[in-house]
Homo-oligomer: A and B are copies of this chain.
């Protein structure tokens, strides 16, 4: 009710707590901090300094402090951050305490691997439904979950309260599947099919394209090769030489 922009503590038992608008870059790093924190917690650490956590997450310590400062003051000067408390905070901000329901569309080569992936459940998500358009796939059970026909998506999504959908179909079907998901009320999509999806502005799309990742790496290979080729004149590329630098 009294949600002023000055609300401060998010753990507030006030129904709808103040929601800080974090920079997008910060949001993208929070999951990495969270993973590092869980790892620390398992090793028994109770507190951690910004320096230590930054190292575990692979970032600059100043950046980490600034990121964490955006979600409130949860550190103690001279001591560090309380690991358990920080985990709760980040999980709250990311909305992971909701144990969100996720559905997966396209149980092919990749979808099969995703459906059996334990890393989802351990990080705050429940895969509650699998869909495919191929009648031969429907009924197949993966990890105790039966593949359903995509025509049932609308109904199942409503029943299970699914807000996040994962697309693992061929590129040609991705837009159609996205349309089905959106029509079913899904407002977040993770897309593995190469290509651009068109969705309403209230729907968030993130894409994962392995070929793009490899092509970026390839660029740097190309760049590195052209650099090493400059001084010597060796036409590299193909023969592999040992690591230079430290």
Contact = CB atoms under 8 A, between A and B. Distances in A.
A148 B199 CA distance: 43
Contacts of A100: 214, 218, 221
B16 A201 contact: no
A45 interface: no
Interface stretch (A61-69, A79-87, A229-237): A229-237
Contact of A125 (B157, B214, B229): B214
Interface residues of A, number: 96
Nearest to A39: B195
A209 interface: yes
Contact of A211 (B119, B196, B202, B223): B119
User: Which of A34, A211, A246 has the most chain B CB within a 10 Å cutoff?
Assistant: A211
A94 B182 contact: no
Given A35-B194, A57-B196, A114-B210, 18 more contacts: A16-B235, A19-B223, A19-B226, A24-B242, A28-B216, A34-B215, A58-B196, A98-B218, A113-B113, A124-B211, A124-B215, A125-B218, A182-B243, A185-B242, A199-B241, A203-B243, A206-B217, A206-B243
